[in-house]
Structures are given as structure tokens and as C-alpha cells.
Amino acid sequence: MRALRICDCLAPGAAGRLASLGVAAFLAAASGLAPAVADPVKPPLPEKAPKEPAAAKDLFGAENRPANLASRSIGFYSKGCLAGAKELPIDGPNWQAMRLSRNRNWGHPRLIRLVEKLARDAAEKDGWPGLLVGDLAQPRGGPMTSGHASHQVGLDVDVWLNPMPDRRYSYEEREKVSAVSMLKDTLSVDPNIFTPEHVKLIKRAASYREVDRVGVNPAIKLALCRAEGGDKPWLKKVQMWPGHHYHMHIRIKCPPDSAGCKGQSPPTNTSCAAAEKWYRDTKAYLERPKKPKPPEVAKREKPEKPKRQVMLSELPKACRAVLAAAPAGTPPLRDIVTPSRKPDNRADASGAAAAAPAARPQAAPSHQ
């Protein structure tokens, strides 16, 4: 299958910032004062106006709100779109959504339910402190301007492999805190970071019937195989994907309500023997005798080919209707109260946010 890229990069110094913010919040909580960190409310989204003919990623990336249609995943995971998306609340009893500025916490209602169920089961049955949830899909799915080949039909979610802290992250922290790599080196997980609780969490995710597959780094797959003592039915759903050492990628099956959703053939190459083979081959490659470097020859500079863009016409036809549909829910606050019309005595967006921490400027959409 196609390699699926990830997009969460480590921000240099993020760990240090997190530690200092953590201490500040702890001290504030202990002293009974309001926490010093800002509340994680999604800010109004910037205006985007793609020009026609635009690449599909620009058209879908410009949509702030879901299409007011019945929920339906249309097309294939890496070539499609999403009607009637539901939003994953940015906070739940056992999860926090990260990278809120991307506005990618949308999915088919089945995916939202899956995330909520995994968060609850992992906390109640496996002792996992809670999920940090990365990207799901854009409000109308479709290709993204950055980061992923898939996540287009609202059936994919990235779940970070570091557990949720026992406090609520601020908006800033959700932008900057880095996911933690599970690897010690290319070949193996770090046993100080990757624990039996991680095995339970990934097993829990892979064991749900609606889950089609889970993508993790080959070294993580190998660690799972060794922890389980060899092949197990749930491990058949866990595939070796490059990257994916900061998060696992959970993909669910096409929902029954989604005519035009294209499923994927069952995962292959998922035996523990395949993981051991990956280990041997990669080790041999890394330890191969290095050839002496040939003398430098001046290379003629080749102009870089621009990447071909996927156009709207290449997506399923129904995706046009998804783009054209009226938006569900109320518009972002920016569109309701423009600064020129705003009464002076009314709290602005940040003031309102401070007064009601759990609310967000875009009122909760009323779609089903």
C-alpha cells in the first residue's frame, strides 16, 4: 500500500516549554488561582479564498464547516470527501484534541464514536490516562494542504502514543507540545517509553470490529509481536507503516450508510514472521559495509518538477455536491459579529472565551 506520511514534527525546545508550563499550571492549581495558561478555544478561522481552477486540496482546505447533508464517506481513504461530518469535541472525559488551528477534528459519526469509545475503554479497562488525538479530517474531508495522503473520507484518526496529562492543555500547548517517539533507534522501541500499557492500548484499538487496520512503525509492530509471544488475531490488523512512531493511525471500515465509500482489501504482511524479517533486513542494511564515496562530480542543476495537484474532477462526482452544500451549524463568530458592528459593551471573542472556557467561537453545529 502507499506510504502514508505524518506531519507532526518535533518543535525544538517544546519539551522544555511543556515542563515549564506544566509547573506553572500545577502551582496555579495548588494555590487555587486560575491557571496561567490560555483556554483551548479554537480561534476564528482565517479567511481563505481559492481561485478557480483550484487544486482539490485548496477547495476542501478552504471549508470551515461541514456540508449540511446526511453523513456519508465518499470515495477512498486517499481520494474522496465527507458529507455531514461530526466534530470531535476538543475535550472529553478521557481525551484532548491537539493542533486545533488545523480544524481537522471532524469525521464520520462512526469515527467520532470510535474515538470516544477507545478513550473510555482504555481509561476504564486498561489504565490509560487518556488520548491525545491528532488529525481526523477536514470539515468536508478531501485532500489536505499538508500532511496526509489519506484522512480524506472521515474514517482515519491519528492517536498520539504519549498519554494525556492529568490537566487540560491550553490552546498554545495543543499547538506546540510534541508527540513523543517510542523508538530507541531505527530497529527498536525504547523500553523506558514504550510500556505494556501501550501494548494494551494498541490491542484495544485493533480489537474493535469496525476498525479496519492500525498503522504503526515496524519497530512497534515487532515489539507488539514479542510482547504477545507471536501471532494473535488482533495483530493481523496491525500493519507496519513507515513513520508512525509518535502516533498510531486507526482506520475504520466503510460505514453502512455510505454509498460510494470504497473499502480496502484486508491488511497484508502482518505476520510476526514478517516483522522479524523486517528487523533482519533492516539491520543488515544498516550494518552493510559502506562503499568509499566517489569523488565529487559537479552536478548539473535540474529544475524541480512541480508536484501534480489532484483536481476536483478527479474525486468522486458526489464530492462536488459536498463542496456546494450549505454549511451546517452556525458560522464562526467572526462572521456573525464583525468588529465594525460589534456593540462596545459586548465582550469580544477572547473575552467571551475567558468567561466560558468550554465554549468555542463556532457554536456547536446542529447537524446530526
From first CA to last CA, the distance across the chain in angstroms is: 34
CA 24 vs CA 36, 97, 130: distances in Å: 7, 21, 22
Instruction: Select from 99, 168, 221, 249 the one that contacts Zn ion (CB under 5 A).
Output: 249
Nearer to Zn ion, 58 or 158 (CB): 158
Nearer to Zn ion, 54 or 149 (CB): 149
Nearer to Zn ion, 179 or 235 (CB): 179
**CB of residue 151 to Zn ion, shortest distance in Å:** 6
Torsional class of 185: left (φ above 0), alpha (ψ -120 to 50), beta (otherwise) = beta
- CA-based nearest residue to 264, from 247, 279, 256, 252: 252
The H-or-E segment that residue 241 falls in is none
Nearer to Zn ion, 108 or 367 (CB): 108
Residue nearest to Zn ion (CB): 249
Q: Quick count: other Cβ atoms within 10 Å of Cβ 258?
A: 24
CA distance 119 to 108: 17
- Span near Zn ion by CB under 5 A; candidates 11-19, 150-158, 165-173, 224-232: 150-158
**CB of residue 158 to Zn ion, shortest distance in Å:** 4
Q: What number of CA atoms fall less than 13 Å from residue 324's CA on the CB side?
A: 6
Nearer to Zn ion, 63 or 158 (CB): 158
**CB of residue 8 to Zn ion, shortest distance in Å:** 9
Length of the chain: 368
Our finding on whether 212 is near Zn ion (CB under 5 A) is: no
**CB of residue 167 to Zn ion, shortest distance in Å:** 26
CA distance 51 to 280: 50
**CB of residue 215 to Zn ion, shortest distance in Å:** 7
- Span near Zn ion by CB under 5 A; candidates 9-17, 25-33, 42-50, 156-164: 156-164
CA distance 279 to 9: 25
The H-or-E segment that residue 34 falls in is none
- CA-based nearest residue to 139, from 87, 188, 96: 87
- Span near Zn ion by CB under 5 A; candidates 248-256, 280-288, 299-307, 355-363: 248-256
Exposed, middle or buried: residue 147 (CB in 10 Å: 0-12, 13-18, 19+)?
middle
CA distance 267 to 256: 20
- Span near Zn ion by CB under 5 A; candidates 79-87, 155-163, 226-234, 345-353: 155-163
Nearer to Zn ion, 86 or 249 (CB): 249
Nearer to Zn ion, 77 or 234 (CB): 77
**CB of residue 148 to Zn ion, shortest distance in Å:** 6
**CB of residue 76 to Zn ion, shortest distance in Å:** 15
Write the DSSP string, 59-95: HHHT--S-BSS--EEEEETTEEEEES-EEPPSEETTE
CA distance 208 to 199: 15
Instruction: Select from 39, 87, 158, 212 the one that contacts Zn ion (CB under 5 A).
Output: 158
CA distance 56 to 325: 16
Nearer to Zn ion, 88 or 333 (CB): 88
**CB of residue 156 to Zn ion, shortest distance in Å:** 6
Nearer to Zn ion, 251 or 360 (CB): 251
- Span near Zn ion by CB under 5 A; candidates 157-165, 201-209, 268-276, 329-337: 157-165
φ, ψ of residue 156 to 5 degrees: the values are: -120, 145
**CB of residue 3 to Zn ion, shortest distance in Å:** 11
Number of residues that bind Zn ion (CB under 5 A): 2
Binding site for Zn ion (CB under 5 A): 158, 249
